[in-house]
Amino acid sequence: MIIYLDESYDWQGIYFLLGALFVREDHDVFLSSFNNIKREEKFTKPDGSLRELKYSKINHDNHERAAVKAIQAFKAQNAYFRAVVIPQASFDLAFYGKKYEPENIKRARAYKKFAEMLIEYNTPQLADGVLFADYLSRCKGALGKGDEFIEVMKQRFLYPRDEGLSVKSKLRHISEVPSDHEKYALLQVCDVLLGSTLNGVLKIPKGPRMARKNAVTVKMKEILEFPTFDKSYWQSLEKLYIREYHERITMEDYCKRAHHKYRLWFWKPKQKA
């Protein structure tokens, strides 16, 4: 399995989302299909390479068509998508480190906890996975070794026993990759799914400039056959997610469960005693 991880947040500061695209099988078939879609929709540069598809830059008809086709391709492949939705007003970085520690390190630890949930609860029987993360801009700098998020993810998933965890490693490789590279272009599919999700979750007025993005979001809900983005609906399914995990079901069984293709988790902080 190959997992693509991306982040998204709105400029109003309402939500932060972390999303993961899980490609179970036939990764190269999916990748080739998506790159062919971009060629069909004239995403080719003069040198023959392909331009990047970004949800935030869906401003033209061919961008909208490419995004919708990407969602259709996702539905047809052995892949599924998960996202955690975090209300920024309820999110306190102080919980993830000491006062004197840089914000980047605390944020990386927080991202790690959310990514851990996405991976641990949604990958039954996984033992040899690969994780590719997009450039997570909020986690850069202080360690002096690149990306703090990548460092803490390696500690948790590649060397869990060093963290005092009595669990087997689910991943064999973790790295940050450029989403605009054709080899890692499925990060762009993750971006479209995640951007559409953020747009669907936000309950704010949206002007004409959002028309094509709105159309993609509506089309995604239609293609993936889920009824709503509303928090109350998805929170009602949380017990199902937990039960699946504790039952240790097989991947085959997991892929037959409700909303297997697309699921949301609305995070809420623990209530103080």
SS3 122: coil
Q: pLDDT digits over 167-224, tens only? A: 677 899 998 899 999 999 999 999 999 999 999 999 777 778 899 999 999 999 999 9
- Total of domains in the chain: 1
Is the full-model pTM beyond 0.85?
A: yes
Q: pLDDT digits over 210-259, tens only? A: 999 999 999 999 999 999 999 999 999 999 999 999 998 999 999 999 89
**Does 60 fall in a domain?**
yes
**Does 180 fall in a domain?**
yes
**Does 225 fall in a domain?**
yes
**Does 93 fall in a domain?**
yes
**Does 272 fall in a domain?**
no
| 200: containing domain | 2-266
**Does 273 fall in a domain?**
no
Buried b (16+ CB within 10 A) or exposed e, 144-174: eeebbbbbbbbebbeebeeeeeeeebbbeeb
Q: Contact at 8 Å (CB) between 132 and 115?
A: no
Q: What are phi and psi of 102, to 5 degrees?
A: -60, 150
pLDDT of residue 141: 45
Q: What is the CATH number of the domain that holds 26?
A: 3.30.420.10
**Does 142 fall in a domain?**
yes
**Does 271 fall in a domain?**
no
Choose among 58, 64, 2: nearest CA to 30: 2
| Paired strand residues for 174 | 131
